[in-house]
Amino acid sequence: MRRFSQRSSLVTLSEINITPLLDLAFVLLIIFVITTPLLDQSINIKLPTGGRPDRQVDPHDKRTVEITQKGAYYFDKRPMSLDQVEAELKKDYRMNPNLIVCIRADEMGRNKDTYAVIDRCLRNGIYKYMLRTEAPKTQ
């Protein structure tokens, strides 16, 4: 009998319980699924409606300039002045001549802010730009 009790004390547990690890993985997955769409629309801009669906553009060729209703400029989601936006666009255009500037301006914003970005693009030889709109609602 003594031999049996010594033997059971030497047996080690060779299995790892992975249930807590799976729970953690699912929680992280749910968090990423919920927060990913929020990251895309971090700047509160209401685009005007109309236009055609977007054509496919290589993401490496596209830079986005966003203009809020109050006239604040954002270059690839970073707040900047108009001069800083122009400097970044010039630098990017020198490195990539296929650059396309996507301009997302709030529908209630001032037109002069949008025209200023277009003017800076044209001054620097950047002739490819897109004015972004919201897709029209179908009834």
Could you list the residue range(s) of the whole structural domain that residue 77 is in? 59-131
Give the pLDDT of residue 40: 54
In a domain, 50, yes or no: no
Give the pLDDT of residue 21: 87
CATH of the domain at 117: 3.30.420.270
Condensed to tens digits (0 to 9), the pLDDT of residues 59-84 reads: 788 899 999 988 899 998 899 999 99
In a domain, 69, yes or no: yes
Condensed to tens digits (0 to 9), the pLDDT of residues 85-103 reads: 999 999 999 999 999 999 9
Count structural domains, the chain.
1
Percent of the chain predicted with pLDDT > 70 = 77
In a domain, 83, yes or no: yes
Q: Is residue 51 predicted with pLDDT exceeding 60?
A: yes
3-state secondary structure the chain: CHHHHHHHHHCCCCCCCCHHHHHHHHHHHHHHHHHHHHHHCCCCCCCCECCCCCCCCCHHHEEEEEECCCCCEEECCEEECHHHHHHHHHHHHHHCCCCEEEEEECCCCCHHHHHHHHHHHHHCCCCCEEECCECCCCC
